[in-house]
């Protein structure tokens, strides 16, 4: 990649980060600025961007619970929203064709509906980046947003197949039938590739060869193949580890995706005005998301947060416009207009997602008036318990802490996690774990009233913003007990202590200290040689 492109992308991405905005905004601006300097879309950059989207869909599949797609708020919510948005936006665009604005002149109702259909989609790339950044991929609003996006992607695949007039090869049925049969072989490979570069190579092979290339060969969409391959592999115990190993590669490729969008360039003033008009239509799209999700019993806050994740346009809109241009239904300048509208929608959506909690706190009372009276099963009141220690975040660190405290103090420990699958697994293993999203202000209102019996709260979740938020709530409510927290980096410790945490420790430092203590307990130094201490654990029992 050109050193100038990398320099501009890093500089503007860094400045966006310093301004508390997602770096993707800086990458978009980098593309626009480079276009002004005479740069155009590079085939290699475009190919890397395409690979990034394909890899993103594979990693989504790795984390996807297929049962989530069959929830009413997902499949029905996505379908109803798409129909209503297409109808309303199509009508607005047709009316704008009589407004005198140059870029809307000549739009008939059919073409207006086609463009509106493209505008009804939201960006999977943007939503996943935001949800990964704030650690809410597995929250109720995160799973709802991702599920809706997956349904939209499936509809997109069907539309592209039908509109292109290209029928899948007869061998497509054989490929689809063979994939589940091949899963046993893929699982054996995942068990044996280790944890290093071979695991990374396997992930790339499954994504681009077994998934994308194989589907493309039989006339199916390559991105769909990557997504299905991810879903196929998701049940494996090392699927999450595989997703983490692909993270850096995916992030690098998606930088190219955002730069490539920006390189589409700026249209003339009339075209830019048309892009702004399209962005001004976004609130209608957002309002539809909010009201529809509310009808499926989601709380006002969950509906609002999901809406923020979906408050943008999708790269699919560009594909729809490309098809319309290729058939002569639209002027080719519409591609640039849609690209700018897409970029501006990302710019507008970023602060909405960044400050979503603050926005909700200000307008929450108004938004709650539109809630359904009945609550979603995952948002019902929290049960009363006689717990003394609460551990928030039941990953490996939280689970380990839970076991130690329960062994020492008995069944006075409770765990909290927002991932239903994790909660179910924890309960199967015999732990007392409740489902709850502690970053949701409404969650604290669902707690039983009266004097708290808790003496200690341990913050074991990875997201720094979530730990700071929970600390602020506990301090605001005059929690009399001890607040302890894990930290991923040394500089986080001071931030946590300043926020009111009583004790914080770097998990990696503590892991090293734990290893040293374990060695000291099991190894003695005799005459300059190390010899093992007799252990109660039989060597034969350790595999």
What CATH code would you report for 3-370?
Answer: 1.20.1530.20
Residues 80-94, mean pLDDT to the nearest whole number: 95
Average pLDDT of the chain is: 83
Cα 459 from Cα 398, distance rounded (Å): 8
Please give the share of the chain, as a percent, with pLDDT higher than 70. Answer: 87
Q: Which residue matches tokens 């202590």?
A: 497
Cα 366 from Cα 130, distance rounded (Å): 25
Cα 490 from Cα 232, distance rounded (Å): 38
Select, from the ranges 100-104, 173-177, 529-533, the one with the highest average predicted confidence (pLDDT). 173-177
Cα 397 from Cα 518, distance rounded (Å): 17
Q: Tokens for 142, please give them.
A: 């995160």
Between 261 and 114, name the one with better pLDDT.
114
- The pLDDT of residue 93 is 92
Cα 12 from Cα 7, distance rounded (Å): 9
Which among 394, 397, 396 is positioned nearest to 505, based on CA atoms?
Answer: 397
Query: Does the pLDDT of residue 162 top 70, yes or no?
Result: no
Tell me the helix, strand and coil percentages in the chain, rounded to 5.
65, 5, 25
Give the pLDDT band of residue 258 (cuts 50, 70, 90).
Answer: confident
Give the pLDDT band of residue 25 (cuts 50, 70, 90).
Answer: confident
Q: Are 26 and 14 in contact (CB under 8 A)?
A: yes
Cα 9 from Cα 259, distance rounded (Å): 8
Q: Are 77 and 288 in contact (CB under 8 A)?
A: no
> How many residues in total does the chain contain?
543
Least confident of 299-313, 373-387, 436-450: 436-450
Give the pLDDT band of residue 128 (cuts 50, 70, 90).
Answer: confident
Q: Residue 228: left (phi > 0), alpha (psi -120 to 50), or beta?
A: alpha
Residues 417-446, mean pLDDT to the nearest whole number: 83
Angle between helices 333-354 and 300-309 (to 10 degrees): 140
Range(s) of the chain covered by CATH 3.40.50.720: 381-531
- The pLDDT of residue 451 is 61
- What CATH class does 381-531 carry? alpha beta
Q: Which residue matches tokens 């990557």?
A: 226
This prediction's pTM: 0.70
Instruction: For residue range 57-74, list pLDDT tens digits in order.
Output: 888 888 777 888 889 999
Range(s) of the chain covered by CATH 1.20.1530.20: 3-370
- The pLDDT of residue 535 is 40
Task: Give the containing element (helix H, strand E) for 188.
Answer: helix 171-192
Instruction: For residue range 506-541, list pLDDT tens digits in order.
Output: 877 766 666 666 565 666 545 444 444 444 333 333
């Amino acid at each position: 990649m050109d050193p100038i492109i990398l320099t501009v992308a890093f500089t503007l991405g860094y400045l966006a980060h310093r301004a508390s905005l997602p770096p993707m905004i800086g990458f978009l601006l980098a593309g626009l600025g480079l276009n002004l300097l005479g740069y155009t879309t590079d085939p290699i950059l475009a190919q890397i961007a395409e690979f990034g989207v394909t890899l993103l869909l594979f990693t989504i599949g790795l984390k996807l619970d297929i049962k989530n797609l069959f929830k009413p708020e997902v499949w029905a919510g996505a379908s109803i929203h798409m129909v209503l948005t297409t109808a309303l936006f199509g009508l607005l665009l047709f009316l704008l064709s009589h407004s005198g604005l140059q870029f809307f002149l000549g739009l008939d109702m059919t073409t207006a509906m086609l463009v509106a259909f493209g505008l009804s989609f939201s960006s999977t790339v943007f939503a996943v980046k935001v949800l990964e950044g704030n650690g809410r991929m597995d929250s109720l609003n995160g799973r709802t947003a991702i599920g809706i996006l997956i349904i939209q992607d499936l509809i997109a695949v069907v539309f592209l197949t039908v509109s292109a007039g290209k029928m899948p090869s007869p061998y497509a049925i054989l490929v689809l039938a063979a994939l589940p049969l091949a899963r046993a072989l893929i699982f054996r490979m995942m068990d044996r590739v280790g944890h290093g570069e071979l695991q990374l190579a396997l992930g790339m092979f499954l994504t681009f060869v077994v998934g994308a290339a194989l589907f493309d060969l039989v006339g199916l969409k390559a991105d769909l193949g990557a997504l299905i391959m991810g879903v196929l592999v998701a049940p494996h115990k090392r699927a999450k580890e595989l997703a983490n190993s692909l993270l850096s590669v995916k992030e690098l490729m998606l930088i190219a995706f955002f730069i490539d969008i920006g390189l589409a360039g700026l249209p003339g003033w009339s075209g830019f005005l048309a892009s702004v008009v399209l962005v001004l239509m976004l609130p209608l799209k957002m309002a539809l998301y909010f009201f529809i999700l509310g009808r499926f019993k989601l709380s006002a806050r969950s509906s609002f947060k999901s809406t923020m994740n979906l408050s943008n346009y999708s790269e699919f809109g560009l594909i729809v416009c490309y098809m319309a241009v290729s058939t002569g239904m639209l002027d080719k300048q519409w591609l640039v207009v849609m690209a700018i509208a897409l970029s501006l929608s990302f710019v507008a959506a970023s602060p909405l997602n960044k400050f979503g909690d603050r926005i909700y706190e200000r307008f929450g009372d108004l938004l709650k008036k539109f809630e359904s009276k009945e609550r979603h099963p995952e948002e019902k009141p929290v049960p009363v318990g006689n717990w003394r220690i609460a551990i928030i975040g039941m990953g490996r660190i939280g689970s380990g802490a839970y076991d130690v405290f329960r062994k020492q103090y008995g069944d006075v420990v409770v765990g909290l996690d927002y991932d239903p699958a994790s909660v179910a697994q924890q309960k199967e293993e015999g732990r007392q774990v409740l489902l709850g999203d502690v970053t949701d202000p409404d969650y604290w209102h669902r707690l039983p009233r009266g004097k708290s019996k808790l003496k200690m709260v341990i913050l074991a979740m990875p997201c720094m913003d979530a730990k700071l938020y929970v600390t602020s709530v506990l301090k605001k409510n005059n929690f009399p007990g001890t607040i302890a927290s894990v930290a991923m980096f040394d500089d986080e410790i001071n931030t946590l202590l300043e926020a009111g945490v009583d004790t914080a420790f770097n998990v990696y430092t503590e892991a090293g200290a734990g290893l040293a203590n374990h060695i000291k307990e099991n190894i003695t130094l005799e005459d300059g040689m190390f010899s093992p201490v007799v252990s109660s654990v039989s060597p034969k029992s350790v595999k």
